[in-house]
Chains A and B, each alone.
Chain A
Amino acid sequence: MSAMIDIVFLLLVYFILTFKIEPLEAHMTVNLPSPSTVPGQPPPVLLEVKILPDRYVLNGVGLTLDTVERTIDDLTRDDRSQTLIIKVGLNAKQHQLISLLDRCEKLDLENLNVLTLKY
């Protein structure tokens, strides 16, 4: 029987070594512009956040992530279903977008549209 126990031990060692805990991931839902190349009607702009490599710009005012969150919180207190347009600069980093989406999730905002700035 010892040979079989050896094999069973091998199996056990193999599964212990290869076992990996599933990583926890958050999946954030965003809306993208429609694929049509014809420029459509510009959406009614309620709230617009630009993400630039060094700062966030909310309705024309440069802010940090924390101040953006606070301002959006104040502006959307009555209506969390408001549309937020996030315009991301080409040189911005992905984690800046994710951080902003994360804060929006914290504020229960649902209508998040991601557009790309062509600069």
Chain B
Amino acid sequence: MRELVCIVCPRGCHMKVDDEWNVTGNTCPRGAEYARAELTHPTRVLTSTVRLEGGRYPRCPVKTAAPVPKELLPRVMAALDEVTLRAPVHVGQTVLEDVCGTGVAVVATRELTA
């Protein structure tokens, strides 16, 4: 039996997972899905910033377009350190394809005009 707090939404359900992977305490199916994933291969969406040139600010916020394996987060951060964007940047614009071989893209999350 393992206990964990759901991080899928702000409700923060306190869940229990038994040895047969039955999840209790969740209020939605996404909680059960998260609990099983968390105990087998935990993943997170990473949000950070990259360098921006020619814009109003020197940084552009970005995120991984999908969750990536938690243990890869430091490597994704290092990969982002190599990126420099040029304004204008649009929300959803791809910043990096297939980051660290995860198959997941990194995308911009803010409109930044030149």
Q: Say whether A associates with B.
A: no
Which A residues contact B (CB, under 8 angstroms)? Answer: none
Which B residues contact A (CB, under 8 angstroms)? Answer: none
